[in-house]
Amino acid sequence: MTPIRRQGAATDAVAALAGRAEALARAVEAGGDLLDAAAARHAADVARRVGERTALVGGHVVVALAGSTGAGKSSIFNALVGEDVAEVGVRRPMTSVPRAAVWGDDGAGPLLDWLGVARRHRVAGGDPGLAGLVLVDLPDFDSREAANRAEAERLLELVDLFVWVTDHQKYADAVIHDQFVATHKAYGRNTLVVLNHADELPDAQVATVVADLTRLLEADGLADPRVIATSARTGRGLDELRGAVRDVIADHQASLRRLQVDVAEAARALRDGLGTAQGTVSREARDALVTALSRAAGAPAALDAVERSYRRDALGRTGVVFTRWRRSLTADPLSRLRLDRLPGARSAADTAGAHVAVERTSLPAASPAARAEAQMATSRLAQSASAGLPPRWTDAVDAAAHPPDADLRDALDRALGGAVERHRSPAWWHLAGALQWVFAAMVVVGVLWYLALGLAGWLQFALPDVPRYGPVPYPFILIVAGIVFALVVSFACRVVAGAAARRRRAAVSRRVRDAVGQVADRDVIAPVEAVLARHRAVAGDLARAAGDA
- CA–CA distance, 502 with 508 (Å, rounded to integer): 10
Mean pLDDT in residue range 239-264: 89
- Contact indicator for 225, 217 with CB cutoff of 8 Å: yes
Of the candidates 185, 226, 193, the one whose C-alpha atom is nearest the C-alpha of residue 66 is 193
Mean pLDDT in residue range 247-257: 85
- For the ranges 46-55, 79-88, 294-303, the lowest mean pLDDT is seen at 79-88
Q: Is the pLDDT of residue 349 over 80?
A: no
- CA–CA distance, 534 with 526 (Å, rounded to integer): 12
Q: Is the pLDDT of residue 58 over 80?
A: no
- CA–CA distance, 69 with 173 (Å, rounded to integer): 12
Pairing of strands 472-473, 468-469: antiparallel
Mean confidence (pLDDT) of the chain: 86
Q: Is the pLDDT of residue 94 over 60?
A: no
- In the prediction, which pLDDT does 454 show? 86
- In the prediction, which pLDDT does 9 show? 53
- Contact indicator for 493, 322 with CB cutoff of 8 Å: no
CB atoms closer than 10 angstroms to residue 333? 20
Give 92's pLDDT tier (boundaries 50, 70, 90).
Answer: very low
Give 544's pLDDT tier (boundaries 50, 70, 90).
Answer: very high
Mean pLDDT in residue range 428-441: 93
- In the prediction, which pLDDT does 5 show? 46
Mean pLDDT in residue range 368-374: 91
Q: How far is CA 515 from the centre of its chain?
A: 26
Q: Is the pLDDT of residue 358 over 70?
A: no
Task: Note the pLDDT tens digit of each residue in 293-309.
Answer: 999 988 898 999 899 98
- Contact indicator for 299, 508 with CB cutoff of 8 Å: no
- CA–CA distance, 212 with 204 (Å, rounded to integer): 13
Give 273's pLDDT tier (boundaries 50, 70, 90).
Answer: confident
CB atoms closer than 10 angstroms to residue 329? 6
- CA–CA distance, 95 with 89 (Å, rounded to integer): 9
Give 284's pLDDT tier (boundaries 50, 70, 90).
Answer: very high
Give 492's pLDDT tier (boundaries 50, 70, 90).
Answer: very high
- In the prediction, which pLDDT does 345 show? 56
Q: Any alpha helices (H) in 70-145, and if so which ranges?
A: 73-81, 109-115
Task: Note the pLDDT tens digit of each residue in 117-144.
Answer: 988 888 887 788 888 899 999 988 766 7
- In the prediction, which pLDDT does 359 show? 62
Which H or E element spans position 99? strand 99-103
Beta-bridged to residue 164, according to DSSP, are: 66, 193
Q: Is the pLDDT of residue 346 over 70?
A: no
Task: Note the pLDDT tens digit of each residue in 13-22.
Answer: 888 999 999 9
- CA–CA distance, 271 with 200 (Å, rounded to integer): 47
- In the prediction, which pLDDT does 22 show? 95
Mean pLDDT in residue range 324-331: 78
- In the prediction, which pLDDT does 173 show? 87
- In the prediction, which pLDDT does 177 show? 87
- CA–CA distance, 177 with 342 (Å, rounded to integer): 81
Buried b / exposed e over 305-320, threshold 16 CB at 10 Å, is bbbbbbbbbbbbbbbb
Q: Which CATH class is domain 60-251?
A: alpha beta
Percent of the chain with pLDDT over 70: 91
